Amino acid sequence: MNVRTLCLSILYEGEATGYEIRRLCVEGECSYFVEASFGSIYPALARLEDEGLVVSRTEQQSGKPAKKVYSITDQGRTAFAEELAGPLGEDVFRSPFLLFARFAHILPRDLVEARANEYLEKHIADHRRLEEAFAERGSNAADTWVINYGRAVMEVAERHIRSHMHELITLARAEPKKDAAE
Amino acid sequence: MNVRTLCLSILYEGEATGYEIRRLCVEGECSYFVEASFGSIYPALARLEDEGLVVSRTEQQSGKPAKKVYSITDQGRTAFAEELAGPLGEDVFRSPFLLFARFAHILPRDLVEARANEYLEKHIADHRRLEEAFAERGSNAADTWVINYGRAVMEVAERHIRSHMHELITLARAEPKKDAAE
DNA sequence: CGGGACATATGCCGGACCGATATATGCCGG
DNA sequence: CCGGCATATATCGGTCCGGCATATGTCCCG
């Protein structure tokens, strides 16, 4: 799954600027399974325009910089459907925190406790964001299906961390090496 | 979280070759939250050796190519602990399948059904692999904590897909455009 | 009322990383 | 005996991230 396809998927639902696409990847209801940064979105949009899969129109705004609004073309819709029909690529899950957690026994307890709390807070925030997306009900049935899958998984993840984090903290080194701290 | 740190984390537990590190990332009990390919592992190991964080010894084998076995140094252990104490980076979850699922309504039912089944099979396999890692009990307490977190999440993911995939399939286009296939 | 933080918006660049490929070797099955 | 597979190291092209530069306007705080 490349950034090109991601851009097409967002433009499929309606026109948007590069900036908005990025925001949807970070804050949108589907931000829990797609991601992309400016450094890849803008070049991708430029290439899509070269290939005729999207068109752009520059819009002047008072009080804000001019923006380039992209729309998908019929050719783009076809290309997107073909892309989805082709090989998809595997799901990716990477967790620096879980790597950290595996070594709890060599780390000072204060640090493990702080990180575990951060991790829980992050999960609570992500979970709540998805519950709100579900409550809004602006999305179609397929979107709702995807959101419900996310809700089910996040609910369990949050609950598991909440009720088991103290076990992880107990595993950490009781006394932090005083001199070697930083 | 970079590949350097990942290599150090594996070598922390015992010596290994680049090939073995790669295999642990793909098949090992922790493969569900770390990943790396040859293209990044070999350069990373070379750089770690330059920096004195690991040392290597070449071992001739009969019937197989010679291998370079890497071991972590005291300096490497210290650097690894410092790395874990520093900023960690966010968890990443990316799912081409969920992006695909969002557009079930524009895709032929056969395709959606096939992909949903593949996705379920993949989850069953991943989940089982983790249950086996749990049953083996060769790991320490922190590893077990991490595995249990994965088990809890995977159990729910698998169950949710199993009991809700038919809803997604129902959303797909009933009659596949016969001419536009491929 | 000046200045800094923040939001909108586009774009580039260095470096990290993936996936494919090359190279070498020996095993095993058809 | 030949092709495919497993072991093992290494490189290379291309994709992508994160930080930075640039431009402009708002809003709040001192």
pLDDT single digits (tens) A61-98 = 766 778 899 999 999 999 999 999 998 889 999 999 99
- Whether chain B has a CB inside 8 Å of the CB on A5: the answer is yes
User: How long is the CA B179 to C1' D17 vector, in angstroms?
Assistant: 40
pLDDT at B174: 77
Contact A84 B93 (CB under 8 A): no
Residues A149, B161: contact at Cβ < 8 Å? Answer: yes
CB of B126 closer than 8 Å to CB of B161: no
B86 CB inside 7 Å of strand C: no
Residue A175 is predicted with a pLDDT of: 67
Give me the pLDDT at residue B91, please. 93
B74 and chain A: CB distance < 8 Å anywhere? Answer: no
The whole-chain average pLDDT of chain A stands at 90
The answer to whether A171 and A105 have CB atoms below 8 angstroms apart is: yes
Q: Is the pLDDT of residue A182 over 70?
A: no
Q: CB of B55 within 8 Å of any CB in chain A?
A: no
Question: A177 pLDDT exceeds 60?
Answer: no
pLDDT score recorded for residue B156: 98
Q: Are strands A64-72 and A54-61 parallel, antiparallel or unpaired?
A: antiparallel
Mean local confidence (pLDDT), A15-32: 90
Rounded distance in angstroms from the CA atom of residue B63 to the C1' atom of nucleotide C27: 8
Cα–Cα distances (Å) from A110 to A34, A113, B77, in that order, read 33, 5, 20
- Judge whether residue A179 has pLDDT over 60: no
Q: How far is CA B27 from CA B7, B24, B30, B31, B156, in A?
A: 15, 5, 8, 6, 22
**Does the pLDDT of residue A180 top 70, yes or no?**
no
A-chain CB neighbours of B33 within 8 Å are 93-95, 98-99
**Rounded CA separation B17/A23 (Å):** 42
- pLDDT at residue A53 tops 60: yes
Confidence (pLDDT) at B179: 52
Say if CB B158 and CB B98 are below 8 A apart.
no
Give residues 129 to 168 of B whose Cβ lies within 8 Å of A.
140-143, 145-146, 148-150, 152-153, 155-157, 160-161, 164, 167-168
The 3-state secondary structure of A78-103, one letter per residue: HHHHHHHHCCCCCCEEECHHHHHHHC
Confidence class for position A55, pLDDT limits 50, 70, 90 = very high
Position with higher pLDDT, B178 vs A45: A45
Which residues in chain B come in under a pLDDT of 70?
63, 175-182
Cβ-in-10-Å burial (0-12, 13-18, 19+) of A167 comes to middle
CA–CA distance, A5 with A84 (Å, rounded to integer): 9
The pLDDT of residue B139: 73
Q: Within 10 A of B93 (CB to CB), how many other CB atoms are there?
A: 18
- Which of B95, B122, B140 is the closest to A105 by Cβ? B140
End-to-end CA distance of chain B: 40
Written as one letter, the residue type at B26 is V
